[in-house]
Amino acid sequence: MDQGKVLLVIEDDLGLQKQFKWSFVGYHVVIAGDRVTAIEALRRYMPEVVTLDLGLPPDPANASEGLITLEEILELAPKTKVIVVTGNDDRDNVIKAIAMGAYDFYQKPVDIDILNMIVSRAFQLVALEQENSKLQQAQEPLSGIISASDVMQKLSRTIEKIAPSLITTLLLGESGTGKEVLARAIHELSSRADKPFVAVNCAAIPESLLESELFGYEKGAFTGAVKQTKGKIEYAEGGTFFLDEIGDLPFSLQAKLLRFIQERVVERLGGRGEIPVDVRIICATHQNMPSLINAGDFREDLYYRISEMVIDIPPLREREGDAIVIAKALLTRYSERENNLIKGFTTEARQAIEVYHWPGNIRQLENKIKRAVVMADDVYVGLQDLAMQQDMREEESSLPLNLKQVRERAETIAIKRALVHADNNISQAAKLLGVTRPTLYTLFSKYDINGHEGTV
């Protein structure tokens, strides 16, 4: 039974209550026999779908009590799908109920199979509306950033705050999390947006060439230097200089970079004069900087210069709901580029995108979508088009075989997901998990969760 799918049945007939309780398979069925109990259950369980008998007491022959109940439900939870159940002679009240906002109706005597179908369709509509709502909320809070997760929305607010300043910023995150995209967003929100944004990847340029690439050189500085050449730092004059993968910067160049950051002057190879440069500096790395410093591979004084502001970018697996939102945006982008009439993902493909660990983060997801757009034979991208079968098998094989470890891992993930959905509201998280508050606190202690880990 999916504790997440709560069905509230409002019915005063004890026989039908029992029938509904055991017939609605796959839902957490909550029974209420009158209006007061129904509203209490609505507030407590927040069901997505409600079946409502219009003939509630005190006078089952008068549907006014049922209509009043319907009105209160829609006022408290307007997105709830209410299915009114009524007798054959209640046509006028059914019309009133539908006009008030009821989702659908069903007439007694009850055929549980048909009613089950109506309820299932209501839940499907709820899921579709929630997905569409998430897509609408998945605005680009910053240029190039697609997100619906709270953690990325908060990070975006941080970017907006620091962008107007000149504070030197260090972006930390795994490969593929979008560090350069965020660096460009900082630049575009700053007063330097109309000036150059120049990026250099320290890991992509051989050490023997990196110094001349950064600082430039004078004619005759070395064999092949046939003319004076500016470095990338000078080309960023007035704008933003982005030094990506700074953790890979050779130790021999770190002292020269430190002097540039301190003095804002550069000296070309073979040159004798200092050249002032006005740039804003942003750095990024996927490496653990304290570990590099302890190993003697990175200067501590340089680290403190580049880390006036440090921003940790969460991996895609910790961005609740972002994987499918980003996947859909990328699918639209690349299908339009390839002139393919692709409408979306199959259920199997969508579920795989949502549950996969994505070790390569957004870059890996983007590659999968590009491939799928080319390979898809249908208007819906399937698991085979994404070539994720092997990825899923490898991920499953990495799971521990010990049942106790599997259970603990699953419970930890579920608790953190519930905290995210409940915005760290302990009571709400407990309801989502189907446990009591004391039980949830016990689980916090057991798995060393502080109750705020849902926000990452």
Q: Within this chain, do residues 101 and 229 fall inside the same structural domain, yes or no?
A: no
Domain with residue 413: its CATH number is 1.10.10
DSSP assignment of 324-337 equals: HHHHHHHHHHHHHH
Q: Which of 397, 421, 437 is the last residue of a domain?
A: 397
Cα–Cα dist 456/417, whole Å: 10
Residue 334 CA, distance from chain mean position: 21
Domain residues for 89?
2-133
Whether residues 93 and 8 fall in one domain:
yes
In a domain, 104, yes or no: yes
What pTM, to 2 d.p., does this model score? 0.60
Q: Which of 117-126, 288-297, 318-327 shows the highest mean pLDDT?
A: 288-297
Q: Yes or no: say if 61 and 51 are a contact pair by the CB < 8 Å rule.
A: no
302, 171: one domain: yes
Across 66-75, 83-92, 164-173, the highest mean pLDDT is recorded for: 164-173
- Within a domain: 160: no
Can you give the CATH number for the domain in which 97 is found? 3.40.50.2300
On the question of pLDDT at 295 being above 90, the answer is yes
- Highest average pLDDT, of 141-150, 152-161, 181-190, 399-408, comes from 181-190
Residue type, 296: G
Return the CATH number at 360: 1.10.8.60
Residue 153 lies in a domain: no
409 lies in the same domain as 377:
no
Q: What CATH number does the domain containing 210 carry?
A: 3.40.50.300
Give the model confidence (pLDDT) of 108-138 as tens digits: 888 888 998 999 999 988 888 777 666 555 4
Structural domain ending residue among the three candidates 114, 133, 152? 133
Q: Are residues 224 and 294 in the same domain?
A: yes
Burial group, residue 366, by CB count within 10 angstroms (0-12, 13-18, 19+): middle
Does one domain contain both 276 and 174? Answer: yes
Q: Residue 456's pLDDT is what?
A: 30
Residue 278 in domain: yes
For the stretch 136-152, what's the b/e string if a residue is b when 16 or more beta carbons lie within 10 angstroms of its beta carbon?
A: eebeebbeebbbbbbbb
**Domain co-membership, 265 together with 304:** yes
Q: Contact 113/276 with Cβ under 8 angstroms?
A: no
Q: How confident is the model at residue 44 (pLDDT cuts 50, 70, 90)?
A: confident
Taking the C-alpha atoms of residue 417 and residue 426, their distance in angstroms, rounded to an integer, is 12
Q: What's the pLDDT score for residue 445? A: 79
366 and 416 co-located in one domain: no
Asked if residue 393 has pLDDT above 80, the reply is no
Do 234 and 295 fall into the same domain?
Answer: yes
Residue 143 lies in a domain: no
Whether 260 and 285 share a structural domain: yes
State whether 416 and 446 are in the same domain. yes
> Which of the listed residues 297, 312, 327 is the one where a domain comes to its end?
312
In a domain, 374, yes or no: yes
Tally of domains in the chain: 4
Determine the pLDDT at residue 1.
42
The pLDDT of residue 61 is: 55
Asked if the structure places residue 375 within a domain, the reply is: yes
Per-residue pLDDT tens over the stretch 52-82: 988 777 655 555 788 999 999 998 888 899 9
- Residue by residue, what is the 3-state secondary structure of 212-276? HHHHEECCCCCCCCCCCEECHHHHCCCCEEEEECHHHCCHHHHHHHHHHHHHCEECCECCCCCEE
Tell me: do 220 and 283 sit in the same domain: yes
DSSP line for 337-384: HTT----EE-HHHHHHHHH---TTHHHHHHHHHHHHHHH--SSEE-HH
Residues 6+ apart with CB under 8 A from 151: 314, 318, 319, 320, 455, 456
CB 70 within 8 A of CB 52: yes
Residue 331 lies inside a defined structural domain of this protein: yes
